[in-house]
Amino acid sequence: MSSLIFDSKIYGSAWADDDFRAIFDEPAMVTDWLEILSVLAETQAHFDLIPKDAALAIAETCRATVVDGDFLDEVGVGFKDSGHSTQGLILAIFRRCPEGAGEWFYYGTTVQDLTDTWMSRAILKSHVLIQQSLDKILAILLPMANQYKNTTMAGRTHGQQGLPITFGFKVANWAGEMARHSERLSEIRPRLMYGQLSGGVGSMASQGSRGFEIQKMFFDTLNLLPAPVSWTSSRDVVAEWSQLLVLICGTADRIGHEIYNLQRSEIGEVREGFIEGTVGSITMPHKRNPEISEHLGTLSRIVRHNAALICEGLVHEHERDGRSWKAEWNAVPQATMAAGKTMSLLAGLVQNLEVDPNRMLANLEITKGFVLSEPLMLALAAKVGRKTAHEIIYEMSLKAQEAGMSFKEAVLSNCDITTHLPNLEMEGFFNYAQHTDYCAAMVERFLNEKGGK
């Protein structure tokens, strides 16, 4: 029975995917701990820091141990009795080792050596999964941007219609952020590769005269790297990982928020794809709620708040400070699992998004054409100057809207405008698509750069 939503039998599937849960759940974590400690014993024996027969027995015992509920209960009792984070694990393996071998288990290492090394491995596995989701999202968004590069819709500022744009332009904007996140993921990976084997205060005092060699072999086996200097008190890379998740999920939240708003009954320009059998409301059966878009916002908040907690660890006292570092045990898994779920939900959302070009065009008519006031002002400014042009169109717009006139009617009946611009209708000025300007061209430029056309 769990008190955490991530592990809920009822709701857990909405908060974490199984592939991320398989990285961070307790049996997986402890199994990986035992593998790390097996490799450590084997490495130390190779350099004669501990007896080879003891290392062999330790490795065999660790790898044969089934991390089930009974084993975790045993480890938990040891922790509760001792108050030490890994004493329960040490005692449990000691009991299972052949006589004498257990004396050499966990030799010269610390809790932070073990948990930081595990965390680096867990983050690297998560990095791969998030990159895969990001690649999938980009593979959907790039052709979508191309498909809708000429689909005219209202561009909105401050919640109001401003000028015509295209839906493909909006999608390319989303894709641009995701492409930059992909670059950031590639850039951060080398910094995520560092394991920890530094001992009590980071000086490696317990690894003997060949400590650097032990470090190298140990981390080579675990597909990690030794940091040039101990990072027991330096939590910047963990914080950087959390902030990258914030950026990625911030974009996902922005996309979800946009879809959430564009799906409003009063706008209706896009809709989440409908899955037969899903229920929007128990009391209002007609509703199709933007559940996925909404939940992206929830998950992103979880990521942001856990990242803030992780950043508290940047202020670290002396060479080890449990107040800072142990908070990561809670925050890193939650932030990473929530980010992973965010990405998989977003991939499904954009894959199945329903787009209504007719509604987009109809919504442009809500302003009766007044979204074209800026291009008219610029055209008139070429004849009379910007200030005068603004005054003419401002006064015309106020009077026309009070009278219920359309923009086209108001313009064509205003001699201050038609005297200088007599051919507006003939030149197709009142066609919204004529005023999306560089939207399609920017989409094409972006797609050419990304190879997604």
**Which residues form the catalytic set?**
158, 281
For 363, list phi and psi in degrees, rounded to 5.
Answer: -65, -30
Cα separation, 170 vs 152, whole angstroms = 11
Helices (H), 193-235: 211-221
DSSP assignment of 403-423: HT--HHHHHHT-HHHHTT-TT
63-72: long-range contacts (C-beta < 8 A, 24 or more apart)? 63/34, 63/35, 63/38, 65/34, 65/92, 65/93, 65/96, 67/27, 67/30, 67/31, 67/34, 68/27, 71/30, 72/26, 72/27, 72/30
Residue type, 259: I
**Token pair 């709701």 is at which residue?**
11
Angle at the Cα of 400 (from 394 to 404), degrees rounded to 5?
145
Other beta carbons within 10 angstroms of residue 263's beta carbon come to 19
Bridge partners for 270 per DSSP: 355
